[in-house]
A = this chain, B = another copy of it.
């Protein structure tokens, strides 16, 4: 059983302010927790789980702190509509921005929707992209909705927040490729060994001051009439053409 103060502490981590202050986040469900436990980069500080999950996952749990909770307690600490057996308290990764950039990385200018950000992290992981640089206005990657949408990829892709304009300005010798509505057809480009692929906000696209720093404009050719593509779908399509 969890003490009232412990329960309250975990509940506060539903809010960004407390996640930032404590340097922790929550991850839920058997699949996500198993991925985090298996990944060396991730430090799982404590697990809160129903007895049935604990019994069948003893080797996975190993030496990690694990507290048995009741269904009522799980419901109280869960951020999901349907609590799913286990919640893990995980240390935020806190890596530093890459300097210099190596290989192909993503830069996100104010992606707002947590589902989109989580999906982009999952796509990056699929294509072997190790780092994502985010503007300060981008959704927080430790938001429970983002963490869930990554399907475990949050454990393998480093996500950094910085003043994107300043950071991009300092990247002197690497190609910056901005995904826009009019630019070079990605179907006619060769795969890239290195570069920064820039994806903009869902409705406003890339902000003008950021776009000015790009030295290439690239486009997914439109054949029909939809005005735009979802930002995560666009990121996936571009990576599928440009990852070498």
Interface residues of A (CB under 8 A from B): 115, 119, 122-129, 151-153, 156, 186-187, 220, 222-230, 232-234, 236-237, 240-241, 243
Partner of A126, one of B152, B223, B236: B223
Bound: A233/B156 CA distance, A: 19
Are B222 and A126 in contact, CB atoms less than 8 angstroms apart? yes
Partner of A226, one of B126, B187, B229, B233: B126
Q: Which B residues touch A228, using CB under 8 A?
A: 126, 151
Q: Which B residues touch A151, using CB under 8 A?
A: 226-228
Q: Which B residues touch A220, using CB under 8 A?
A: 126, 240
A122-B230, A156-B226, A236-B236 given; name 5 further pairs at CB < 8 Å: A122-B229, A127-B223, A153-B225, A220-B240, A236-B237
Are A224 and B125 in contact, CB atoms less than 8 angstroms apart? yes
8 nearest A-B residue pairs (beta carbon):
A128-B223, A128-B224, A125-B226, A126-B226, A233-B236, A237-B240, A125-B224, A153-B226
21 A-B pairs in the complex with CB atoms less than 8 angstroms apart:
A115-B115, A119-B230, A122-B226, A122-B229, A123-B233, A124-B224, A125-B224, A125-B225, A125-B226, A126-B224, A126-B228, A127-B222, A128-B223, A128-B224, A156-B224, A156-B225, A187-B240, A229-B236, A234-B236, A237-B237, A241-B241
